Structures are given as structure tokens and as C-alpha cells.
Amino acid sequence: MSQVTILTPSFAPDFDLCANLNRSILDFFPSTVEHHIVVRPSDIQIFRALSNQRTHIRCRAECLPASFVRMPFGNYTVNLTRPFPPIRGWIMQQLIKLAVATESKDDVIILADSDVEFLRPTGVEAFVRDGTVRFYRLPEAIDARLPRHGTWHRVARDLLGLDQKPLPFADYISSLVAWNPAIVRQMLDRVSSITGSHWASAIARQLHFSESTLYGVYVDELAGDVAKRFVSSETLCLSYWDDTPLSGAGIAAFARAVRPDDVAAMISAKSRTPLDVRRNAFAACRKGVGSLLTG
């Protein structure tokens, strides 16, 4: 059986969300599946409350090059080998995911942020089939209406040494993404070779970057046919992306959108949805997906 790990970078303000995600992992995944939570040094103590046989709390400083130093003032980190621009939090979160994946000996890493919760029992077969890790790809989903996504594609192609292509592009971004760590290592070796820098330094100096887009472009164009034997355009995760809070009145409409193949749901932390509304919304989603599966 393939070994699967779920990876979540988090921080203290999202502790309650992360605790609920962790509980759903322990409830709905086989006992062989572990949850690795990577946090800042200052947040280690609070997250230790979640530590158990299947949940591992890790310090992000252990995952990155020694030249990456968090400044004592301001919410940013610098790469001492190239201090400018400083590494923004969004880029740092993506670097952590890549760094943990490169050192992983597992067959599959599932990326799930703190604002995700799993809805039902889920086996590893949802993410790996006949040795091939699931590859999320939505064809021709990125066009001129999504300029930021287009920029992420162009940056990824530059880092991988690929010629630029015109729109539209495939979308590889989902609230629930599976990676093959061996492919991540191959991909980052190529980034280092193309840029002439350690991959972490090459990515850290980017102002715009998407780790899922980098992985998606690499699998699509460089990883070979075997890596694309298990491709799907289904996200497996019902997502609420709005910046405004989900209201109690909106729970029913949100839950009605759940599909039979959804194994998780996400309510964006940026929406600042109250915890009781989140709890009721996820409960409604679990009830909804259960009804769909039982007919």
C-alpha cells in the first residue's frame, strides 16, 4: 500500500481551524496516514497540543536553508545570500511545502491548508492509482480574465526553462492537491539547473509564484506519460473562496453544492467566517455527501 502524508503549513491565528482539520484527518483516514503541521518557532508551543502518534508538529526553520532568516521585526524572512526582496509570507508558505516534499520518503503528499476539513472516510486510493499519484488538471481554465494566474504560469515556465505559450492555460490549483515527492525532487533539480541557484533561492526571489502551477506545468510537459496516468479535473473539495464571511443563512446553499466525489470542503480563512458557522457548514456538507453516497 502507498504511504500517504498530509501536509499543512499553519500559524497561531489559524490554530482552531488547523485543530479541526487534524481531527477530521484522524477520523476519516486510515491509521497509516500521518499529518505533518509546519509552524513558526514562536508557534510550536501552542501546536504541541495536537501532537500524537499520527500528528507531527515541525518547525519551519528546520525545513529551509540556513540562509533563510526571520527578521525580529516585521512579518517577513530574508535570504541572506540575496536579502532583497524579502520573502513574503505567501511565498514562504509555498517554499515550506516544496521543502517538506523534497525530503519526504512517502509515495504521496496531500497538501491541505488549515481551512480545509475532510467530510467522510477516505482511502489512499483517492489519491494514488496503480502507483501513479493523482494529478489535478482543469484544461483551458486560465484566460485573460485571470491575469494573476497567467503570471504564475509564465513564472513557472521561466523557472523550468520552457518557452512561453499563449493563453489559455490549464489550471492546477485546488484546495486539495496531491504531489509525488519523487517528481517534486526532479522538478526542483531542474529549477536549480536552469537558474544556476539553489531552487529555494530561485523561488524566494520571485514576487509572484504558485507552487501548484510549477508542479502542474512540470508534470504536464516534462515528467513523462507515466505521471499522467491518473489525471482528473475534479477538485475533490467543495470550496468557499469569498473574502466575506459565510453567513448562517448561506450554509444550506453552500452544502447543496457538495458532489458525490467530494472528500473535503474548504471555507477560506480569509473570509473570517465565525467558528460556529464553519462547524455548522461542515456538518451540513457531511450530511449532504452522506446522503448522496447512500442514495
Angstrom distance (rounded) from CA 124 to CA 2? 7
- The x, y and z cell numbers of residue 27, run together, are 477520523
Long-range contacts of 144-153 (CB under 8 A, 24+ apart): 148/208, 149/173, 149/210, 149/213, 151/208, 152/208, 152/209, 152/210, 152/213, 153/213, 153/217
Burial annotation 245-279 (CB, 10 A radius, 16+ → b, else e): bbeeebbeebbeebeeebbbbbbbbebebeeebbe
Angstrom distance (rounded) from CA 22 to CA 54? 10
10-residue mean pLDDT series, the chain (295 residues):
92 97 98 97 96 96 87 78 83 95 96 98 95 97 96 98 97 97 98 96 95 98 96 97 94 95 97 96 93 72
Nearest to 40 by CA among 23, 55, 57, 18: 57
> Is 4-235 a CATH 1.10.357 domain?
no
* pLDDT of res. 70: 82
Q: Compute the residue count for the chain.
A: 295
- The x, y and z cell numbers of residue 53, run together, are 502518534
Residue 79 and residue 188 in contact, taking contact as beta carbons nearer than 8 Å = no
Residue 216 and residue 187 in contact, taking contact as beta carbons nearer than 8 Å = no
Q: Cis ω on the peptide bond leading into residue 30 (within 30° of 0)?
A: no
* pLDDT of res. 74: 67
Angstrom distance (rounded) from CA 36 to CA 22? 9
- The x, y and z cell numbers of residue 134, run together, are 493523482
**Would you kindly state where each structural domain of the chain is located, as residue ranges?**
4-235, 238-295
